[in-house]
Structure 1
Amino acid sequence: MRRIADLAFSALIVLIAPPLYLLLDLAVVGRLGARELAALGVGTLVLAVLSTQLTFLAYGTTARSARRFGEGDRAGAVAEGVQATWIALVVGAVIVLLGFLAAPWIMRALVPDADVAADAAGWLRIAIVGVPLILVSMAGNGWMRGIQETRAPVVNVVVGLSLAALLCIGLVHGVGPLPRLGLNGSAWANVVGQSTTGALFLAALLRESARSAVARRPDRAVIGAQLVMARDLVARSASFQICFVSAAAVAARYSVAAVAAHQVVLQVWEFLSLLLDSLAIAAQALVGAALGARQTIEARMVARRVLRASMGVALAVAAALAVGASTLPRLFNHDADVLAAMTVPWWFLIAMLPIAGAVFALDGVLLGAGDAAFLRTATLAAALGVFLPLIWASHFFGWGLAGIWTGLCAFMVARLGAVWWRYRGNAWAI
């Protein structure tokens, strides 16, 4: 349990640091005006969508590195990091090129206001330069979690984002000797901070590969295997995006208060999901290592302990949200209509959390076992066969936010049924 806690805490710091930095970024840029704030919001949304689709560099690498580490092959675990880093650099370079060229068209498609679209495109063209090293950081988190290194990822992320935070304040408003760059200052701060983090992960990889005598040239076989897992994880991530975008689209058809209430509760859910995801990441690393060492009993023991811990955390958070149901929503909004609309999704969120605790834990177990293909199929089936029919029925019959959140809960229950069935079998534990 202490090892689970160490890995989970390290992962949690790495997961929550970027959203916390984004809050600071929004607060700093918000002082410039509404146009700049809107442009930053759209620009960060595009970067977030890209990052979400490329998380396979962290999750897939963790599973593969952990398996090699459990086999006693530390050099092989590091080699997985080397090959994932090659993928990160190549994919990142392609994104920089395409993103720089397409930024104006992307922003005009997303934003009807020409001035906001132009500002957002300018921000994105600068910020996207840091994408290769952002992806290197993802790969770095993956192989370091695989070898159960908990300190370095936290240090790397905190150093990079702390630098970004200082530069954001300085460059946006021209503090001290720094020039006043306005919105573009936010983009340059993002690039410098993310690149610093990526450079620290790259330096660690070079040191570790030299120490373990790991070849640094691309290995087509390993890269090919990683891309197969990437395909499955990207499809799984895309299904999540489909669900949440569809939910927002349907909520927007009801009223301003409904869409505002939905988005507030959804943001609370996304923050809480990081807490549960940190435990899932611990499961990935420990289950992968146990299976690499051919210790099936140990893998199942880890799975049970992570499952209990995740459900315990979820129940505790759900209880806190229930106790604070009359006061906590007021931290996010004071509008009477929005607060009234938040009541329904708030209680659905409370009901969903214990189910999510089990789903996240078992997702982590199966990812650690390299069972990405099953997770892809199960998630797509739950999204297309359960969630989407319910969400559009909610729109057609006018079920409101209750219908939307019924769909989200049903999506989570369907995923729970699939991963529990898989976990109870033996196919993953080989």
Structure 2
Amino acid sequence: MTPERRRDILRISLPILGGMTSQNLLNLVDAWMVGGLGANALAATGLANFLNFMAVAGLAGFASAVQALTARRAGAGQVATLAEPLNGGLLLSLLMGIPLALLGMMLAPWLFAVLNPDPAVAAEGVPYLQWRLAAVMAVGMNFAFRGYWSAIKQTRVYMFTLVGMHLLNVVFSYCLIHGLFGLPRMGTAGAGLGTSLALYCGTAYYLFHAWRHARPHGFLAARPPRIGFVSLLRLGVPSAIQQLLFSGGFTALFWMIGLVGTTELAVANVLITITLTLVLPSVGFGIAAATLSGQALGRGDPDDAYRAGWDTFRIAVWPFILVGLPMVLVPARLLGVFLDDPAAIAIGVLPLQLIGATMAFDGLGIILMQALLGVGASRLVMAVSTVFQWGLFLPLVWLLGPVCGLGLTAIWIAMGAYRLLQAGVFIWVWQRRRWTAIQL
């Protein structure tokens, strides 16, 4: 690996890592703030967050399409049209986000009634979810901006904006939860409203910054040309479907764990929050691999595009090992930050150790999945992800959990097996290099 390649990987990935670290620290802070309201509030917001993720997943899927198209143009030197994919992504976020938000807010009470029979959980979760859904279009626009800034190696813009949003989120949410400074005391609903307000503040800053710096690249200069819009849809729709099915799978997972027990659901919420805090940085490294691979294909250099994936993992593997070790060695201490019940902590110990032990290999799978999205292989990623999650993992969870009653440990063993098998397939696909022939 050349020093220049190492600098490029770190220059792209470190701001993404910083932004995602702040995102995941915020998830922990949210869990702490809401956890003070009781187990029902914690379980409710965990389920609501995945329902909200389902609502925004389709829009989030277009971020990889924006990045892939922009990176190819950057590699080919097409500077004047770099922002055309971004324009398309913003337009799609508005056209799809507004009806999605309205539909989701109307269906929120029914969704909670179906997914969790406990009325106390629904009472906490429905208003929280409705306030979160009010920002669906803002989330879609923010993801489109992330794809653009990542593709042109300006990820610091993403990091600073995200950190600012998170700081505002903590202030807004805490004040609205507890009714400080004359604001109404809204409980869990205040946490949802505070998050949405912070998201819209971030969108406003993205628009302001892009208007100042991206107009030479065609930002909002004209409606995206038909062929560019078709390319955005061709790449984005499979990615959007994959994201939607992935988030829907986690919602189904929470529903099945809820059938096992409310305590197990609360523990699962904490486990996934910790997992995202420590694993999602692999998405940051994956975004770096996607940008470098996409730009290399734009230059007509498929060998360099292939090396970018493995070079990125060579740098990322050490952070994966470092963050996985505490999960293996002191799992009870980590769980004790969020859970007071010794029985609940005991339920989560072995699942958390499994997450830490498999983190490096799972991280490699995530990096190569992002790299495949960056070179335009979104249909393949959709197929692999859907088959393993919906065809293998979720039926196995239903059998192990609600049917056989084997508990949370058995469910997490199944999750580890599914993630490792999926990672193995992405490694095999990357090694075959058939993706180098994809034309965008």
In the alignment, structure 1 residue 311 sits paired with structure 2 residue 317: yes
Alpha-carbon offset, residue 312 of structure 1 = 2.8
Superposition TM-score, scaled by structure 1 size: 0.86
User: Given that residues 16 and 156 in structure 2 are in contact (C-alpha distance below 8 angstroms), is that contact kept between their aligned partners in structure 1?
Assistant: no
Count of aligned residue pairs for this structure pair: 429
**Matching residue of 2:210:** 205
Aligned to 2:3: none
**1:210 Cα shift?**
2.6
SS in 1 for 2:426: helix
Query: TM-score, normalising length from structure 2?
Result: 0.84
* Alignment equivalent of 1:420, drawn from 421, 427, 433: 427
Q: CA deviation at 1:164?
A: 3.4
TM-align CA RMSD: 3.2
For the 8 Å contact 1:60–1:229, the answer to whether it is kept is yes
1:10 paired to 2:15 = yes
**Is the CA contact (8 Å cut-off) linking 1:60 and 1:230 kept in structure 2?**
yes
Residue 183 of structure 2: aligned partner: 179
Deviation at 1:246?
A: 4.8
Using the TM superposition, give the Cα deviation of residue 379 of structure 1 relative to its aligned residue in structure 2, in angstroms. 1.5
Q: Structure 1 residues 251 and 42 mapped into 2: Cα distance closer, same or farther (>3 Å)?
A: closer
- Which structure 1 residue ranges, 5 or more long, are not aligned? none
The 5 A counterparts of 1:37-52 are: 43-52=48-57
Greater Cα shift, 110-119 or 129-138: 110-119
Offset at residue 87 of structure 1 (A): 0.6
Q: Choose which of 83, 86, 90 in structure 1 pairs with 2:95.
A: 90
In the alignment, the residues of structure 2 paired with residue 338 and residue 37 of structure 1 have an alpha-carbon distance, to the nearest angstrom, of 13
Aligned residues with identical type, % of pairs: 24
Is it true that 1:378 corresponds to 2:402 in the alignment?
Answer: no
Question: Which residue does the alignment assign to 1:157?
Answer: 162
1:229 matched to 2:215? The reply is no
Q: Which of 390-399 and 142-151 deviates more?
A: 390-399
Q: Of residues 264, 267, 276 in structure 1, which corresponds to 2:273?
A: 267
* Residues 254-277 of structure 1: CA deviation (Å, up to 9, x unaligned): 556655554443332232221211
- Report if the CA contact (8 A) 1:78-1:208 is conserved: no
Unmatched tracts of structure 2, length 5 or more: 1-5
Q: Does 1:411 align with 2:415?
A: no
Aligned partners of 1:323 and 1:37: how far apart in 2? 26
Q: Which amino acid aligns with 1:318?
A: G
Q: 1:328 and 1:233 mapped to 2: Cα distance?
A: 34
8 Å CA contact 1:133, 1:199 repeated in 2: no
The superposition leaves residues 202-253 of structure 1 with CA deviations (integer Å, 9 ceiling, x where unpaired) of 2233334432345332433322222222221133224433554454455455
CA drift of 1:369 comes to 1.0
Deviations 1:105-161 (A, max 9, x none): 445545657687567555554443332222211111111111110221122222333
SS in 2 for 1:429: helix
Distance in 1 between the 2:183 and 2:332 partners?
46
Is 1:335–2:335 an aligned residue pair? Answer: no
**Aligned pairs for 1:108-127 within 5 A:** 108-110=113-115, 117=122, 120-127=125-132
Q: Which amino acid aligns with 1:5?
A: L
Quote the Cα distance in structure 2 between the aligned partners of 1:111 and 1:389.
Answer: 19
Letter paired with 1:422 = V
Change (3 A) 1:417 1:201: same
1:129 to 130, 134, 143: 134
What's the counterpart of residue 329 of structure 2? 323
Q: Is the 8 A contact 1:386 1:414 kept in 2?
A: no
Which whole-Å CA distance do the structure 1 matches of 2:121 and 2:350 have between them?
34
Measured after TM superposition, the shift of residue 195 of structure 1 is 1.0
Q: Distance in 2 between matches of 1:226 and 1:372?
A: 11
